[in-house]
Structure 1
């Protein structure tokens, strides 16, 4: 465990950089006086639609390069008739290439999001480094990328696997204006997230020998005392790498969480509340239950 003084100094450095980045986002135009339901995108969801390999939106993709992160692939709905979309950056974990998280791109974008799957500066990057890159990538998406006109800069989220999941917790702590975070099998030496104010869905894997839920995901969930809403989903019989290939359960609850908090779409609350009972795919589910 890091010494408190080292951790404080590092956080101050990250916070100063993140504050400048957040200022740039705050200066962007906002959608005028959005009311309840104004961010809903696509038809009313069903169990079939949320678990389908592709959602209702046709998608396209483009390579995105930025000066303050490595590169990534942006997936986005081709439909421009429904207004702008929320944006999500997805980070891979330790020594994991973008290719192994690329399935999240079309899966989430086809449900009505602009999604950037990130290739980190180095496979060895630690969670704090990944957090900075995710925030830099979000800023680049909304300020300079070719898809910026499709994005609502006030509806942004982060998601990541392993150290990318640990990075999404740090990114949420640094930028409380984020609408949602979805850490998958998150790994981080920091276990204290009491100042994180972002609605967060953490997923763990029952048989994870790398980021065991008892030492990581469950501890992180318990520390999220300032988060307005939170949930913990544990995948039955799964290992650490379950998130690196198409998985219906991960997709379903990620989509529901992002829709509920990025799009403020209460139509998706049905998949989160009442909470799912343990079943063949889910060994445990804890929650605060989203409020309408």
Structure 2
């Protein structure tokens, strides 16, 4: 069927209006949240071993820092999208940063600056590890070679075992943090009712070092009911699930940091309603966020 010049002109105008509306919508969304980084997420993109950002790394010697034991910084090489949020991650008792090294580039490639740290000694207790996480963030944002890449108002913490207990301590000590993710956390202190930081606790069903019944679950229950919080228990997982590549852990850790460090509501779909599946024994939360 042939269209008259007038009808063709109307069609072109209509298509232009649609394209303009789509552009305006995208611009409005970007204006609503200037912290969004990367393309729209999918199940595949957050389960992938690497995200959309190329990553570089730099080693920080213990000799040039104070308050913690140095570590490795992983960061996106792209500077075209502005600054990034940052996360410091602590290892567990007797461990060093190599035990959590896989998390660094995986999280950084999703659009974060990530600092996997060594502690002052391998035997430091949770309260000390919490202080060290905060010292690492201060170094990262004030003195590190990548400080200019970081938005110092958008910071988070994570850690394994005593480092997970330290994550809770850091969140309690510095309420300006945007997110915390304790992994198989261990701490003799059980009450964290004063925490104001959105917290996502991940425990292992078969953990015999920090059994969820006496660690992760009481920690989660003690957090304020008004807080944005979640608890995920991994099916059949031991205490050491954070020490090797774990897609389920990474997927929801990324989603939590994206949602609360970047205020990125595109990741709500992975957190609300509560996820389920063969890898998840139990999931609780205060969703919707």
Q: Give the shorter-chain TM-score range.
A: 0.7 to 0.9
TM-score of the two chains, using structure 2 as the length reference: 0.87
| Alignment match, 1:51 | 47
1:281 to 279, 282, 289: 279
The aligned residue for residue 232 of structure 1 is 231
Q: Which residue pairs with 2:193 in the alignment? A: 194
Give the match for residue 221 of structure 2. 222
CA pair 117-290 structure 1, distance change in 2 beyond 3 A: farther
Question: Which structure 2 segments of 5+ residues have no match?
Answer: 1-29
Cα displacement (A) at 1:227: 5.7
The residue number in structure 1 matching 2:113 is 114
Higher radius of gyration, 1 or 2: 2
Q: Indicate the residue corresponding to 1:3 in structure 2.
A: none
CA contact 1:197–1:226 (8 Å) conserved in 2: no
CA distance in 2 between counterparts of 1:96 and 1:162 reads 10
Contact 2:273 2:288 in 1 (8 A): no
Q: Which residue of 2 aligns with 1:80?
A: 79
The 3-state SS of whatever aligns with 1:138 is helix
Give the match for residue 63 of structure 1: 59
Structure 1: runs of 5+ lacking an equivalent: 1-33
| TM-score under structure 1 length normalisation | 0.86
Task: Tell me what 2:23 maps to.
Answer: none
The size of the alignment, in residue pairs, is: 257
Which residue number corresponds to residue 143 of structure 1? Answer: 142
Superposition map of 1:117-128 within 5 A: 117-128=116-127
Structure 2 Cα separation of the partners of residues 89 and 204 of structure 1: 19
Offset, 1:271: 0.2
Q: What per-residue deviation string (whole Å, max 9, x for no partner) do you get for residues 116-164 of structure 1?
A: 0011111100001100110000000000000000000000000000000
| Separation (CA, whole Å) in 2 of partners of 1:164 and 1:35 | 36
Residue 103 of structure 1 corresponds to 102
Structure 1 residues 199, 112: closer, same or farther in 2, change over 3 A? same
Q: What SS does structure 1 have at the residue aligned with 2:230?
A: strand
Q: What is the alpha-carbon root mean square deviation over aligned residues?
A: 1.1
Indicate conservation of the 8 Å contact 2:225/2:286, yes or no: no
Query: Once the 2 structures are TM-superposed, how far is the Cα of residue 36 of structure 1 from its aligned partner?
Result: 2.8
Q: Tell me what 1:134 maps to.
A: 133
Instruction: List structure 1 segments (4+ residues) > 3 angstroms apart after TM superposition.
Output: none
Task: Report how far residue 63 of structure 1 moved.
Answer: 1.1
